Chain A
Amino acid sequence: MEGVYVEPEDAGVAGQDREQLGNSIKSVPRIQNITQHPCPWSFPLDQGHSDKSTSMLCVIGGLILLFYLVFYIFLAGMFALTMYVMLQTLDDHKPTWQDRLATPGMMIRPNTENKQEDTGTVKNNPKRSCQFNRTLLDECSGISDPYYGYQDAKPCIIIKLNRVIGLLPGKNGVAPYVTCGAKKEDTEKIGELMYFPPNGTFNLMYYPYYGKKAQPLGANVGHGRFSSGLAVTSRRCCRDPPVSW
């Protein structure tokens, strides 16, 4: 038994009936059937075709494309404008917020890829910069021992305080320093510790950092040049490779 479905609209008399029912009906005349475009560029969400002329639909399709074009240009413009305004509010020398950098990070790996040369000059414009010579790291500088003591089971650990603009480490003019110790189970295995520069202090003359713009890196100045740094090395290696430090 086939089901019978009857569209009320199609029963022409029903329409009249509705008109008779009074003016309270607020149905707004809408051209139906034009929800799908046979135009190639229209978005094919639904299958179905209408009898309306293709050209008219393409006009509408064109209009809607134009609308989207204008709309996105406007949005992009607004985005660009807000970006521009936002960038204008930024200080060239100091980030607006340093929420994540309250505690500076530390690097513990010697970077052997960036061979540093101690020659060359330091750009002191507009802020003065203090030069950090590799020789300060002595045995761990990589000058005399390119293997940083790893071959002699005396590995160097280079500790670097990450650069953070405006950071002044230490309290009351006392320079921050590093002391190293072994983990409990490794106490016996660890040998004598050596600090370069001695006492394991970070020299306060390197602080604060004024940023890339104020203290641009020189052409021949390598990595870590303007940060303070120190190296620790021990006589005997701990049981595990030093990476696990």
Chain B
Amino acid sequence: MFEMDGDGKAKKTKKEKKKERLEGMKKEMDIDDHEITIEELEMRYNTSIKTGLSSTYALEVLERDGANELRPPKGTPEYVKFARQLAGGLQCLMWVAACICFIAFGIEQARGNLTSFDNLYLAITLIAVVVVTGCFGYYQEFKSTNIIASFKNMVPQQALVIRDGQKNQINASQLVVDNSSLTGESEPQSKNADCTHENPLETKNIAFFSTTCLEGDRTIIGRIASLASGVGNEKTPIAIEIEHFVDIIAGLAMFFGFTFFVVAMFIGYAFLEAMIFFMAIVVAYVPEGLLATVTVCLSLTAKRLAKKNCVVKNLEAVETLGSTSVICSDKTGTLTQNRMTVAHLWFDNHVHAADTTEDQSGQSFDQSSETWRALARIAGLCNRAVFRPDQEGLPIPRRLVVGDASETALLKFTELTVGNVMDYRNRFNKVVEVPFNSTNKFQLSVHELEDPLDLRYLLVMKGAPERILERCSTILIKGQEQPMDEQWKESFQTAYMDLGGLGERVLGFCHVYLDEKEFPRGYHFDSDEMNFTTSALCFAGLISMIDPPRATVPDAVMKCRTAGIRVVMVTGDHPITARAIAANVGIISEGSETVEDIATRKRIPVEQVNKRDARACVINGGQLKDMSSEELDDVLRNHPEMVFARTSPQQKLIIGSIVAVTGDGVNDSPALKKADIGIAMGISGSDAAKNAADMILLDDNFASIVTGVEQGRLIFDNLKKSIAYTLTKNIPELTPYLIYITCSVPLPLGCITILFIELATDIYPSVSLAYEKAESDIMNLKPRNPRRDRLVNEALAAYSYFQIGAVQSFAGFTNYFAAMAQEGWFPLLCVGLRAQWEDVHLQDLQDSYGQEWTFSQRLYQQYTCYTVFFVSIEICQIADVLIRKTRRISVFQQGLFRNKVLVSAIVFQLLLGNLLCYCPGMPNIFNFMPIRVQWWFIPVPFGILIFVFDEVRKLGVRRHPGSWWDQELYY
């Protein structure tokens, strides 16, 4: 005992430690590298800006800290995965039942009853069912894990570094300077020496991953990855539902078992006998077939989803998506294309929209203007980005480019609109260039002209619009230079504000022909001194860029809204950009305003605005950090349209507890893991994200989520039907035993027969319900409320057990008594007959006609009763599967035979039933007797009753919504 206590303590402290570590990780990282001066930084990391690390030191560091790779997440051992499949709620119930069977078998054996192996068979079957379905589930998981494994991109990435003063391409496992996967930003940020933001992730002067800083798991990205693997797995809604329903089943089983234990004791059975009755009832109540049904239904849907490019890693996640009420989507890469694209141009005093579609299928703008030609020339020349070689075959938008995001966008844009930029640049020989820096905020280059006779130099410049404007004295309108007066300045301002308001990054462009005399050929241009004209330039226009939304997203977002699902955007971007994208894809719908919008419109301070008037809300990371969880709750409640901007990965985790999360970056992985269902992008997603996610969209298409939601909702409805169907027959399986105990009739239904119903004949029909089409337009309904709309609710249990199940029991007993009576045993004689009937030594028991029966004759008669009862349940279950097709609308509206699988399942059920009854040898192996054909028809009226009764029920439910009928009988 003491030792155990000690162990417990040790474990606890370990857990606490882990928790602490995790909490520590969730906190913002404390790095001041971006705040100190370059010199200090150089000192700290033994490097220099100019020459970089010495290769020996780099090797040393590499050895010390390990390669710049994430430690692969510790894979769950295969046997643990398999064991997990065997330890679900239902599985545990069945293990317990199997144990009970073994105990009952032991008791029987101990009492000298050496002939009865039923309990042993039952125990073995129960175990077999658990193991077989476990294998099935394991295989499913294994398969989807394989799909994911095949996705891992094994191509090592190269990086440009300064080592020993030389620029080298080195393998990225030694270095990576792309923040995109870390912060969700759409570009590797330009890293410069300014401290732009106190958050190390947002600031521009720090390049994570760099060998000079931290390596491998000690990088920020490494911390995030381990944060992700440290976050516990949340239970899926369906797992919660199944647990809930196992509780119900187990509770009812115990209730019935105990009641009849007491009854049996009261009647006068021996304690051991009553104990066996108790166990038998509990076992009879376990729905053996349900596990297989649920597993198969879920994997059918998973398969259907896989066809639509959603790979489900965890079977249960299939349903989770259906109950999703909020989708938190990462912006970059999920909602947007994750590439900067030129969106708008402003020249000739007009805003022109560029084509931002992924496949360049959109409308282009009027390119006839001279101004446009000048603007395109500046954009093409004043650009340092170049295409990687050997990419002629690829469409332009997909070609790889060396250069930063804006330049890439401009390069691709000019290549698309003008064409052959590289050649163009060669013709305009570059003389000098000044790269962009944050003090100047512009970039310029000086070129020779194409025309060899024209000896002027051309200066092209691009940069922050206001800085460009300062340097301009004229403006190009329709190819003509006009003086930059106040009017033009104002229209420039308007255009700039407009484009900026769209959340786009705006660049201004200008040029000037340098005076031939002042700057003759051979003039020495000095990029540091800038010994040339940089003012009184000619303004050409503005070009704005954005990471455009994917084409399919707005439609998908709309569908989600119709389905009552809130789409919340989470991004590390600037609030304005975030808001613009959100408005673009419909997350903030047309006409919705944020608190700030209302304040501006009404010209009142933000504080005076009633927060409830604002539908939309943009919250940035700083605000989120200061919010208590109640405040956050309140905000989420008040504003249906939410955008979280400038959030750090740690904060994504806070938001991540809302149901579904989509994302692609490593930074999203903790949230993906924490969410009820994490959805990762298959193409652009990082491995960490894919590992953490439950579902992967192979085509990166947000619209696939909508398909997933639809399938998830459908499977929830259909599982309900399947479960209702499966549960129903538990009652006609149980009542024979109860009557056997209380009325001492010969046993009407044996346990092998029960197993055949549960695991053979009824499996296919219950699975076929998974193919049922949706009853109504499920995508127009609200997501289910996990607290109210349970998978198995009281109404479902009561309706299945006490109504349909009761009818089935009556059908079984009618058939049982008919078969007994027609063979010579009248109902009243049967009551109380048990002791004599089961007396092995009594070879001449008289029936109602005075005929004498031997024990084996009686036994075969008992098997006949089993078969007759079996047939009754089968016939009623056919009616049952037909009524379960719909829950609300009439079966005829749904189409009685539309579900072909269901029809074939009924045929299969009948054929299997016939095979069991009439195959020679069955009586002695499985206790099935070839019964009289007439007995197949005795339960038919009860089947019709079930069908009619359910149609009446549905009619009442449809006619009187909200009435007691609806509440009690709609499941």
Shortest distance between the CB of A132 and any CB in chain B (Å): 14
Residue A219 lies at the interface, judged by CB distance under 8 Å to chain B: no
Other A-B pairs, 10, CB within 8 Å; known A60-B968, A212-B846:
A2-B657, A21-B562, A24-B777, A46-B794, A76-B810, A95-B849, A105-B857, A163-B851, A164-B851, A213-B849
Q: Which of B636, B798, B821 contacts A86 (CB 8 A)?
A: B821
Whether A8 and B967, one on each chain, are in contact in the complex, defined by CB atoms closer than 8 angstroms, is no
List B contacts of A104 (CB < 8 A): 852
| Contacting residues, chain B, for A212 (C-beta < 8 A) | 846, 848-850
Near B by CB (< 8 A), chain A positions 37-73 give 43, 45-46, 59-60, 63-64, 67-68, 71-72
> Which of the candidate stretches B60-68, B570-578, B598-606, B799-807 sits at the interface with the other chain?
B799-807
Question: Which A residues, 82 to 137, have Cβ-Cβ distances below 8 Å to chain B?
Answer: 82-83, 86-87, 90, 93-101, 104-109
Q: Is residue B751 contacting chain A, with contact meaning CB distance below 8 A? A: no
Partner of A27, one of B632, B782, B826, B860: B782
Inside 8 A of B941's CB, which chain A residues have their CB?
82
Partner of A5 from B251, B657, B781, B817 at Cβ < 8 Å: B657
- Interface pick from A12-20, A179-187, A189-197: A12-20
Chain A residues in 8 Å Cβ range of B777: 24, 26
Q: Chain A residues near B964 (CB, 8 Å)?
A: 59-60, 63-64
For the complex formed, measure the closest distance between the CB of B258 and the CB atoms of chain A, giving whole angstroms: 15
Candidates A27, A86, A99; contact of B818 at CB < 8 Å: A86
Q: Does A32 contact B (CB under 8 A)?
A: yes
A205: interface (CB < 8 Å): no
A189 to B654, CA, bound (A): 93
Contact between A14 and B564, CB atoms less than 8 A apart: yes
Among A6, A30, A94, A100, point to the contact of B849 (Cβ < 8 A): A94
Q: Is A174 an interface residue (CB 8 A)?
A: no
Q: B212-267: which have CB < 8 Å to A? A: 248, 251
Min C-beta distance of B463 to chain A, whole Å? 42
Residues of B within 8 A of A (CB): 26, 248, 251, 325-326, 561-562, 564-566, 615, 629, 632-633, 636-640, 653-655, 657-659, 776-777, 780-783, 785, 788, 790, 793-795, 797-798, 802-803, 806-807, 810, 813-814, 817-818, 821-824, 826-827, 843-844, 846-854, 856-858, 860-861, 864, 932, 938, 941, 945, 961-962, 964, 966-968, 970
Contacts of B967 in A (CB 8 A): 30-31, 34-35, 60
Contact of A98 among B654, B813, B823, B850 (CB under 8 A): B823
Given contacts A1-B654, A18-B564, contact A162 B793 (CB under 8 A): no
Pick the most buried of B782, B795, B807: most chain A CB atoms within 10 A of its CB. Answer: B782
Contacts of B561 in A (CB 8 A): 17, 21
Q: How far is the CA of A101 from the CA of B851 in the complex (A)?
A: 9
Q: Report B-chain residues with C-beta under 8 Å of the C-beta of A68.
A: 802
| A10 touches B (CB below 8 Å) | yes
**Cβ contact within 8 Å between A30 and B794:** no
Could you pull out 15 A-B pairs where Cβ atoms are within 8 angstroms?
Answer: A1-B26, A4-B655, A7-B785, A11-B636, A13-B615, A13-B640, A35-B967, A59-B964, A83-B827, A98-B823, A100-B858, A101-B857, A105-B843, A105-B854, A105-B856
Q: Do A211 and B851 touch across chains, with their CB atoms under 8 A apart? A: yes
Interface SS majority for chain A: loop
Closest-CB distance, A241 to chain B (whole angstroms):
15
Instruction: Provide the bound-state CA to CA distance between A188 and B20, in Å.
Output: 91
CB pair B822 A10 closer than 8 Å? no
Nearest neighbor of B818 in chain A, beta-carbon distance: A86
Q: How far is the CA of A102 from the CA of B633 in the complex (A)?
A: 79
Number of residues of chain A lying within 8 A (CB) of chain B? 75
Could you say which residues of chain B place their CB within 8 Å of the CB of A64?
Answer: 964, 968
CB contacts (< 8 Å) of A109 on chain B: these are 843
Which residues of chain A have C-beta atoms less than 8 A from B856's C-beta?
105
Task: Report whether B844 and A160 are in contact in the complex, using a CB–CB cutoff of 8 Å.
Answer: yes
Instruction: Tell whether, in the assembled complex, residue A4 and residue B636 are in contact, meaning their CB atoms are under 8 Å apart.
Output: yes
Residues on B with beta carbons closer than 8 Å to the beta carbon of A43: 794, 798
Find out whether the CB atom of B849 lies under 8 angstroms from the CB atom of A11: no
* Chain A contact residues, CB within 8 Å of chain B: 1-11, 13-14, 17-18, 21, 24-36, 43, 45-46, 59-60, 63-64, 67-68, 71-72, 75-76, 78-79, 82-83, 86-87, 90, 93-101, 104-109, 160, 162-165, 209, 211-213, 215, 227
Indicate if the CB atoms of B860 and A100 lie closer than 8 Å: yes
Which of these, A18, A45, A67, A100, contacts B853 with CB under 8 Å? A100
Residues on A with C-beta less than 8 A from B653 are 1
B441 to chain A, nearest CB (A): 39
A97 and B794 in contact (CB under 8 A), knowing A4-B629, A35-B967, A86-B818? no
A95 to B824, CA, bound (A): 5
A79 and chain B: residue at smallest CB distance: B810
A115 CB, min distance to chain B CBs, angstroms: 17
Bound CA span A36–B793, Å: 10
Q: Identify A99's interface contact among B797, B798, B932, CB under 8 A.
A: B932
A residues near B325, Cβ cutoff 8 Å: 6-8
Q: Contact at B803–A71, with CB atoms within 8 Å?
A: yes
Q: Report B-chain residues with C-beta under 8 Å of the C-beta of A3.
A: 657-658
A78 B810 Cβ-Cβ under 8 A: yes
How many Å lie between the Cα of A221 and that of B10 in the bound state? 84
Q: A8 and B781: CB pair below 8 A?
A: no
Which residues of chain B are within 8 angstroms of A11 by Cβ–Cβ distance? 566, 636-638, 640
CB atoms of B857 and A75 under 8 A apart? no
Q: Is the CB of A6 within 8 A of B852?
A: no
Residues of A within 8 A of B857 (CB): 100-101, 105
Contacts of A63 in B (CB 8 A): 964, 968
Q: Which residues on B sit within 8 Å (CB–CB) of A26?
A: 776-777, 780-781
Which B residue sits closest to A45, measured CB to CB? B794
Name the residue among B794, B798, B806, B932 with the largest chain A CB count within 10 angstroms. B794
Contact B962 A30 (CB under 8 A): yes
Shortest Cβ gap from B794 to chain A (Å): 4
User: Within the complex, what minimum Cβ distance (angstroms) separates B802 from chain A?
Assistant: 7
Chain A residues with Cβ below 8 Å from B966 are: 30
Whole-angstrom distance between the alpha carbons of A76 and B810 in the complex?
A: 8
Cα–Cα, bound, A3→B234 (Å): 11
Across-interface contacts of A71 in B (CB, < 8 A): 803, 806
Whole-angstrom distance between the alpha carbons of A212 and B780 in the complex? 70
Give the residues in chain A near B864, CB-CB below 8 Å: 99-100
Which A residues lie within 8 Å of B818 (CB)?
A: 82, 86
